[in-house]
Amino acid sequence: MKASPAERFSSPLWRDRALAASAISEITRLAAEAASKTGGTVNFMEVCGTHTMAIAASGMRRLFPKELRMLSGPGCPVCVTSQGDIDRVLALAAVPGVIIATFGDMLKVKGSKGLDLGSARERGADIRVVYSPLDAVAMAAAEPSRQVVFIGVGFETTAPVIGGAVVRAKKLGLKNFSSTAFFKLVPPALELLLSDPENKIHGFMLPGHVSAIIGTAPYKFVAEKHRVPCVVTGFEPLDILSGISMLLKQVVSGKPLVEDEYFRAVRAEGNPAALKLMKEVFSVSAATWRAIGRVGNTGLEFSKAYASFDAVKRFKIEYREAPEPKGCLCGTILLGKALPPDCPLFGKACTPSNAVGPCMVSSEGACAAWFKYGG
């Protein structure tokens, strides 16, 4: 039988115990050497929530040497969405006659008044979970008397897919489809982290699927300007262990680079078709990040040609600053300055079924990973 693309990407070899054991012993040796250069601890940040989950699900943290610390970064789509933007999503859900189409992750993120899309649904709002934004376009075509709003959040991984849905809606001439564009960009997020003089990040494990879209070049400034090692990494356990090894070798050699561990999916120039689509539908803009605030050139908004598909404009939903949930450390955790168990609410007032902050809600969230898998 011919292997499916998924099987080729995810062969059992990527979870092989013997290979993992030899990778761990290499990591242990390198970490001791690297730690002597960094002053005791080597802190790497896995920028992406998919890595956070994969690390926790594989139970590899228990195999790490004591010198190595993996910190979660600002790469969980739901987690970095600002409280004010979540309030805007809830405001959209409250517009009479609107169907909200969303990825499941957004259902349980609470707005500043403690309500979420799930509770809006209980009060009668029409909220539908979809797997693809194209399903939302189909919904709009099938129900012409209703307005369908897709909740677009995420990074360079989701933006092209949602861009594709918007292009489809335009081709079909649909006047009842729109989307939010609460998109964030990964490379500027790293600039934000590194511009904090208190950061203690010795290397970035970069998300393979983002680089499948944008390539590796946009990260050059991290290695060249900030002198911080980068490795674009895949999501299988051995991808992650190899990524850590490569980062450690860069720390030891003192020569920061942008390396690609996930070369079976990533090309240096990225995916030109997706990039073109993104450029057509969206333009780079300021974005509001949880815990960081509004920063210029760190996100995407609809381009002029597609501005009429912007749900926020169509329904005139204003942005209001809203405070973080009280006591919640999500913001600090996203910046790599705390681990989930450091939060006083973790596992007590805040659990996945009664989450205070988005890091506990999202299936990509650091707190959810630590809670579910025990770190």
Binding-site ranges for another protein (CB under 8 A): 4, 6-7, 10, 12, 15-17, 20-21, 24, 50, 56-63, 77-78, 103-108, 114, 118, 122, 129-131, 135, 153-155, 157-158, 209, 237-238, 241, 349, 351-354, 356, 362-364, 371-374
**Pairing between strand 153-154 and 126-129?**
unpaired
**Pairing between strand 258-260 and 182-184?**
unpaired
Distance CA 233, CA 301 (A): 28
Q: Least Å distance between CB 67 and another protein? A: 18
Considering beta carbons, is residue 5 or 96 the nearer one to another protein? 5
Distance CA 212, CA 164 (A): 17
Q: Least Å distance between CB 143 and another protein? A: 15
Query: Nearest-CA neighbor of 73 among 256, 233, 218?
Result: 233
Distance CA 262, CA 284 (A): 26
- Cβ atoms within 10 A of the Cβ of 205, count? 28
Q: Least Å distance between CB 79 and another protein? A: 11
Query: Nearest-CA neighbor of 229 among 208, 207, 210, 254?
Result: 254
Considering beta carbons, is residue 56 or 251 the nearer one to another protein? 56
Distance CA 309, CA 178 (A): 4
The SS3 of residue 255 is coil
Q: Least Å distance between CB 333 and another protein? A: 18
Considering beta carbons, is residue 235 or 252 the nearer one to another protein? 235
Considering beta carbons, is residue 105 or 259 the nearer one to another protein? 105
Considering beta carbons, is residue 131 or 173 the nearer one to another protein? 131
Q: Least Å distance between CB 94 and another protein? A: 18
Distance CA 73, CA 188 (A): 13
Considering beta carbons, is residue 252 or 282 the nearer one to another protein? 282
Q: Least Å distance between CB 66 and another protein? A: 16
